[in-house]
Amino acid sequence: MAHPLFDKHQTLLAGALEAIRGRGYWNPYSENPASYGDDAIEEGRKAFSAYFDAQFYLDQPGVMGRVIAGHSPFGLALDISFPQCSPDALIAAARGAMPAWIRAGAEVRAGVCAEILARLNERSMEIAHAVMHTTGQSLMMAFQSGGPQAQARGLEAVAQAWGEMKHVPESVLWERPQGKNPPLVIEKRFTVVPRGVSLVMACATAPTLAAYPALFASLATGNPVIVKPHPAAILPLAITVALARQTLKEAGFDASLVSLLVDDSGTPVAKDVAVKGDIRLIDCAGRTEYGEWFEENARQAHVFAQKSGVNCVVVESTGDYKGMLRNLAVTLSLHSGQTALTPRTILVSSEGIKTPDGTYAPEQFGRDLSLAISALLEDNARAVEVLGAIQSPDTVTRIDALRELGAESGQVLRDSSPLPHPQWPQARVHTPLLLRIEVSDRQIYEEERLGPISCVVETATASESFAIAERIMREKGAATFSVHSVNPVMQQLAEDVAIRAGVALYFNLTGGLYVTQSAPFSDFNGTGANPASSASVVDVAFVASRFHVVQSSRHAG
Amino acid sequence: MAHPLFDKHQTLLAGALEAIRGRGYWNPYSENPASYGDDAIEEGRKAFSAYFDAQFYLDQPGVMGRVIAGHSPFGLALDISFPQCSPDALIAAARGAMPAWIRAGAEVRAGVCAEILARLNERSMEIAHAVMHTTGQSLMMAFQSGGPQAQARGLEAVAQAWGEMKHVPESVLWERPQGKNPPLVIEKRFTVVPRGVSLVMACATAPTLAAYPALFASLATGNPVIVKPHPAAILPLAITVALARQTLKEAGFDASLVSLLVDDSGTPVAKDVAVKGDIRLIDCAGRTEYGEWFEENARQAHVFAQKSGVNCVVVESTGDYKGMLRNLAVTLSLHSGQTALTPRTILVSSEGIKTPDGTYAPEQFGRDLSLAISALLEDNARAVEVLGAIQSPDTVTRIDALRELGAESGQVLRDSSPLPHPQWPQARVHTPLLLRIEVSDRQIYEEERLGPISCVVETATASESFAIAERIMREKGAATFSVHSVNPVMQQLAEDVAIRAGVALYFNLTGGLYVTQSAPFSDFNGTGANPASSASVVDVAFVASRFHVVQSSRHAG
């Protein structure tokens, strides 16, 4: 079934599928701002500013009122009002839009999805400003991770979905031999049928990056999608939804295939909507208790939950002590540790860290890591680029609570302090807190705590470090496991732990790669194999569980 | 990673994958008994008879006692005793066997699975006798569906799993350009990691056909499998497990990757085992309440449930009234309606059935269908071949209860009666019961009732027939939907209903295809899209949800 949008994007889709199957570096959407034009940043800022003090236009049914987005983590007043629609009206409209979208078939859906992504890409800088002023990410991170990387994850989902759907033929003549009689010939037709209405809940710290894979996996497989952003990060997804609706409409489909459901933190709607019978797919990202609530209560739906965990680091030996410290310092500081991939607990044995220059004791390592963080953040302009702002005031409260706990039960290796932002005087910027915690104080270092907070824990032996890391990651979940060791026996031990705990393993990162960076088309973000996630972005199960195949059979001829 | 068993079966696996993607007729294991040798049936009988009055040998850990299999539905005394092992011992052994099986990789696992299937195929006739004398299927049906067709479904699962796993490369060099600096080069390795121990529960009416897809999907993706047969149908799976263990051992793996867990109907163990933390995959087939229990209680596991439903038939018009009646008569009689695909409720409107010879009133249709069934079963020897025996005495009780209900609320169109079996005087054979039920008596025709029981329901219009069928299939579930109509508008309506209800649709079957026959490599058995099943055999989700990918990354060189 030829369609201009499939023709337009077929090469891109084929390239994406090839990249997924090879898992080498591939980058369909440039991460270099210069590629978007000389004035791209400024034009993006203008487009973003046009939303201030205004009503965001979205032609959706069942408007009941409006929700106002308030202040940015950088202190900027947004005052954007979004239409709040009745969930039942959105669901009814979504259901009505399904039949034509099913009939369109896999190729057309993939083509339309790729077109939405192409248009999102053109507006990357506008979205970057929107992501920055909702998540607290610095502009460059908001651009790269909230723009082209999020789009790439969306394309990855579309390509995975298309790759699986195109294995289902539209029709076939099935001919069974019948001995001397002529064969029995049956004409069979196969239709990819979506599960139903898909509810995608986006988190506040990475709204587009977390939502796009689910949005596009569901849409490409035929499911209409209702996007429910975190009340603190509506704008980037409002822009996304408006653009998706416009593209669908222009392609001849019902805009109701994608809609925006907003709420405010005082009257949350997600849990009420999630248990409605028509909601058949749920994607959520956020705290573990949040994800688990949907897994336990929304029994009529298939739930894909990106929850949180306690990512661990085991430091045993290194060939490059300074490189290791620098890499860890950047990793712990990037977006103030507000990512699901940031390490939380660093395990070092009292035997010390073996290096070519001798062995460093755990106390020395704690001091050195603290100094490396301070060196990284010495220059204020650079510091705020790395740290960004703290998305939620709760995170600041958490820093304060941990600082007290640390002072009681261990030692504050590096204190957190507010940092003035040269451009945004009201910005909520705080430097990382690094604690030394006793191995007996499990309740401190075994708890997930989003934000710029990490613990160094001294163990008796490297083996104990691995044992503790394994226990934490299996019980609490983890998305990344970093190991510094040049010892092949320890590396094998680490591999075994990673496979048992179902966690992505990183060895001896001392250069320009950080565990907080997950590369589209190459890295699986989350594994689904431990409590930190029940989905892996973007593996085959992530798309295959969103559709069924319905067949019809009849005698041929 | 070359391995003799992968080399041996690579062509077969590639053929299977090609067949899955084309969905034409393909048959790797012959369904013609003659292909198995001149004396195959008799040799199979001898091998089967050797188990009588004996202890079935199975070298498994944790033996606590023995369970005795009693009588066949044909009245044959089996008196085979199976070792009853501690579930915890089987789970511990299974877990211990995992690491080497993971390391073996996708190709080796696929090769070993194909080898197990090849050996099962050689013993098809022995298994046929075992299936016959546990399920009540006639020998020919037990051979075809319990032998080569079950093996084909197993191979289909292995090929689907292999097809997805081979898309995950073992390793890659990921090279990110860094402007003028040399690229950042990361070596990434990917490992397919199973979810954990897989519990496969097999039903009493189709033990091998229902269990093989799950057994082989789990095993091929790296999960050790504990097979828990229905207490009435242990032998076919005991033979299967023993042979799988022998093959695994000879291939250099731990036999504990496949084990048999037995119980008797007085002290069932499935529910206790299913909620153990180490059980991460559950496959079950059987009654809806049974499947739902696991879905609701075994929250630590991914549950694939083949439940039951109320398969509907809408008869509106036909080009071949007699052919239609003949096809329906066979469909309702095959294995005495003891399959999940058998129609239960036949909807005919009072407007009658339009045919080239005129319109037949519903009453006439009821009489004609009743006569067609009787004509099919007129010859006793042929009748028992079609009907087989009734697997469970409960089904006989159900026939009696329905006969009374039918007499009260409707009309008995064709009464069920015991039928003497020429070869097995003690065989439990009963002819089909056909009732006419009022459209208001929903509680009768909207309930799943396994066995040779079907209802003709008269509606006001064909549209009402479709509306009732849709409601039943969406609420109660269905695996097949048969429609007789030569009217294009009605056919379109039927297609829409099938897509909304997520059910496989069959139009105007009047020849040698019956809806109870689901062809491996071509038909999806169940869709997962309505309450009759949460899995589709064998779609991509059926295999993809059984594994994760764990990666490790390090600087290259």
Residue A69, C-beta contacts closer than 8 angstroms, at least 6 positions apart: A78, A79, A80, A81, A82, A134, A231, A232, A234, A235
pLDDT > 80? residue B557: no
Say yes or no to pLDDT of B2 above 90: no
User: What confidence score (pLDDT) does residue A345 get?
Assistant: 98
CB atoms within 10 A of CB B76: 18
Q: Shortest CB distance from A174 goes to which of B25, B505, B512?
A: B25
Give domain limits for chain A.
4-45+86-170+195-307+535-546, 311-507
By the 10 Å C-beta count (0-12 exposed, 13-18 middle, 19+ buried), B440 is classed as exposed
Q: What is the spatial distance between Cα A127 and Cα A130, in angstroms, rounded to a whole number?
A: 5
A167 with B502: Cβ contact below 8 A: no
Percent residues over pLDDT 70 in chain B: 100
What is the enclosing helix (H) or strand (E) of B64? Answer: strand B63-71
HSE (CB half, 13 Å, CA atoms) of B294? 31
DSSP state of B335: G
- Topology adopted by domain A4-45+86-170+195-307+535-546: Aldehyde Dehydrogenase; Chain A, domain 1 (3.40.605)
Whether the CB-CB separation of A354 and A99 falls below 8 Å is answered with no
Task: Report d(CA B78, CA B133) in Å as an integer.
Answer: 9
- 3-state class (DSSP) for residue B347: strand
The closest of B312, B334, B328, B313 to B532, measured between CA atoms, is B312
Using CA atoms, how far apart are residues B214 and B227, in angstroms rounded to an integer?
Answer: 10
Hey, are the CB atoms on A21 and B169 less than 8 Å from each other? yes
Q: Is A149 on the interface with B (CB under 8 A)?
A: no
Looking at residue B56, what is its pLDDT?
97
Q: What is the rounded (10 degree) CA torsion for A301, A304, A310, A313?
A: 160
Q: Which CATH number, 3.40.605.10, 2.170.140.10, 3.40.190.10, 3.40.250.10, labels domain B40-169+196-267+535-547?
A: 3.40.605.10
Residue pair A15/A155 in contact (Cβ under 8 Å)? The answer is no
Interval B295-327: pLDDT, tens: 999 999 999 999 999 999 999 999 999 999 999
What pLDDT was estimated at residue A406? 85
Residue A329: pLDDT over 90: yes
With beta carbons less than 8 A apart as the criterion, state whether A101 and A93 touch.
Answer: no
Q: Residue B111 is which amino acid?
A: G
Mean of all residue pLDDT scores within chain A? 96
pLDDT of residue A1: 52
Dump pLDDT digits (tens) for A121-133. Answer: 999 999 999 999 9
SS3 B129: helix
Which chain B residues are closer than 8 Å to A503 by Cβ? Answer: 550
Query: Could you tell me the pLDDT band of residue B25, with boundaries at 50, 70 and 90?
Result: very high
**pLDDT at site B369:** 98
* Beta-sheet pairing, B77-85 with A181-194: unpaired
pLDDT score for A59: 96
Residue A76: Cβ-neighbour burial (10 angstroms; 0-12, 13-18, 19+)? middle
Quote the distance between the C-alpha of residue B276 and its chain's center. Answer: 25
**A4-45+86-170+195-307+535-546 and A311-507: identical CATH topology:** no
Contact (CB, 8 A) for A544 and A168: no
pLDDT tens digits, residue range A421-467? 999 999 999 999 999 999 999 999 999 899 999 999 999 999 999 99
Tell me the average pLDDT across B468-474.
98
If you average pLDDT over residues B125-153, what whole number do you get? 98
Q: Does the pLDDT of residue B365 top 90, yes or no?
A: yes
Q: Is A11 or B449 the better-scoring residue by pLDDT? A: A11
Q: B321-333 and B362-376 helices cross at what angle (nearest 10)?
A: 60
Q: Is the C-alpha dihedral spanning A182, A184, A187, A190 positive or negative?
A: negative
Q: Choose the closest CB to B184 out of A511, A523, A552.
A: A511
Within the 318-377 window of chain B, which residues sit less than 8 Å (CB to CB) from chain A? Answer: none
Backbone angles phi, psi at B462, to 5 degrees: -60, -35
Q: Which residue of chain A has the CA closest to B546?
A: A541
Exposure letters A351-368 (e unless 16+ CB within 10 A, then b):
bbbbbeeeebebbebbbb
* CATH number belonging to domain A311-507: 3.40.309.10
Confidence at B200, pLDDT banded by 50, 70, 90: very high
| Closest Cβ opposite residue B512 in set A184, A499, A549 | A184
Q: How far apart are CA A22 and CA A16, in angstroms?
A: 10
Crossing angle, helix A235-250 and helix A124-135, to 10 degrees? 150
**Å between B392 CA and nearest CA of chain A:** 32
Six-digit token pair at B473?
A: 């299939």
Of chain A, the end-to-end C-alpha distance in Å amounts to 23
Max distance between CA atoms of chain A, in angstroms, equals: 88
What residue has token string 């994608």?
A: A258
Residue B52 Cα, gap to closest chain A Cα (Å): 37
Instruction: Check CB contact under 8 Å for A554 and B508.
Output: yes
Q: What is the pLDDT of residues A258-309, one digit of tens each?
A: 999 999 988 899 999 999 999 999 999 988 999 999 999 999 999 999 999 9
Cβ contacts of A544 on chain B, cutoff 8 Å: 539-541, 544-545
Separation CA B522–CA A377 (nearest Å): 61
Averaged pLDDT for residues B69-92: 96
Tell me how many residue pairs between chain A and chain B have CB atoms under 8 A apart.
188
pLDDT of residue A65: 95
- Evaluate whether ipTM surpasses 0.95: yes
Q: In what order do the strands lie in the sheet with A197-202?
A: A258-260, A225-229, A197-202, A279-285, A302-306
Q: How many CA atoms lie within 13 A of B434 on its CB side?
A: 23
Chain B residues close to A513, C-beta within 8 Å? 184, 186, 553, 555
A23 reaches B (C-beta below 8 A): yes
Q: Residue B408 has what pLDDT?
A: 86
Q: Nearest CB to B541: which of A522, A524, A544?
A: A544
Contact A209, A150 (CB under 8 A): yes
Of B237, B158, B219, whose CA–CA distance to B520 is shortest? B158
pTM of the model: 0.97
In this structure, what is the dihedral angle of CA atoms A362, A364, A370, A376, given to the nearest 10 degrees? -120
Separation of first and last alpha carbons in chain B = 23
pLDDT at B1: 52
Pick from B178, B296, B523: which is nearest to A512 by CB? Answer: B178
Percent share of chain A, pLDDT over 90: 96
- Mean of the per-residue pLDDT values for chain B? 96
CB-count burial class (<10 Å; 0-12, 13-18, 19+) for B359: exposed
Taking residues B502-519, what's their average pLDDT? Answer: 97
Give dist(CA B466, CA B456) in Å, integer: 14
* Residues of chain B neighbouring A552 (CB-CB closer than 8 A): 495, 498, 504-507
